[in-house]
Amino acid sequence: MNDLHKALSDISSIRRQMAHSTQFRGYGPATLASTGVIALLAASSQSMWLPDPANHVSAYLGIWISTAVLSAALTGVQMHTRTRRIHSGLSDEMIRMAVEQFLPALGGGVLLTIAVVRFVPAAFWMLPGLWQVIFSLGIFSSCRFLPRPMIAAGVWYLLTGLVCIALGDSRALAPWTMGVAYGAGQLLVAGILFVATPEDADEN
């Protein structure tokens, strides 16, 4: 029985090692491009219905948190089905690896948002920039199992986040600061994946 457990443990270890040395191809370009479009639509909605976000914190958070949840749901569902199709027997390990790489950034973003809104409301204007910087860290941590040019997407989000923070006031809450950053950023990510894995274009 001990030999059986050891054999199963060895197999599990081998599968994890194979997953860590395999490029993750569970993100579909078309789905990621659609999340960029969703971000642009959210920015358009803010520009029409929320001209003064600094005085309507709940509404601003509602728009962008809803956008993030919808985008994450679309990406998650598509990642699950695509990974099972492309990575087959390694799908569970590949999905777990992808989630583990991005989870710290996601958790940090959620906790930071709660801390700022609850305890430092005067710094609320910094959230768009901080979200983008944290998102860039999630991308950088995932780059080791994604196409190498994905570093450009991490640099994009880092720079846009720093620009937002450098604005220094409520101008950082303008629709374009999130719309352009995530709209163009997700389209960039989709473009990199499309070019880097052209053989999978019909599986998006």
Length of the chain in terms of residues written = 204
**pLDDT (0 to 100) of residue 30:** 93
Tell me, what's the pLDDT at 17?
Answer: 53
Element at 98 (helix H, strand E): helix 91-119
Type of residue found at 182: Y
pLDDT at 164: 97
**Quick one: pLDDT at residue 144?**
82
- Asked if residue 165 lies in contact with residue 123, where contact means CB atoms within 8 angstroms, the answer is no
Which among 51, 56, 63 has a CA at the least distance from the CA of 124? 56
Specify the pLDDT at position 26: 80
DSSP helix, strand, coil percent of the chain (3-state; round to 5): 90, 0, 10
Tell me, what's the pLDDT at 82? 87
Total domains in the chain come to: 1
What does the pLDDT look like over 131-165, one tens digit per residue? 999 999 999 998 888 889 999 999 999 999 999 99
| pLDDT of amino acid 29 | 94
Which residues of the chain fall short of a pLDDT of 50? 4, 6-8, 10-11, 14-15, 18-19, 200-204
**DSSP string over 135-146:** HHHHHHHHGGGS
Domain that holds residue 102: 2-203
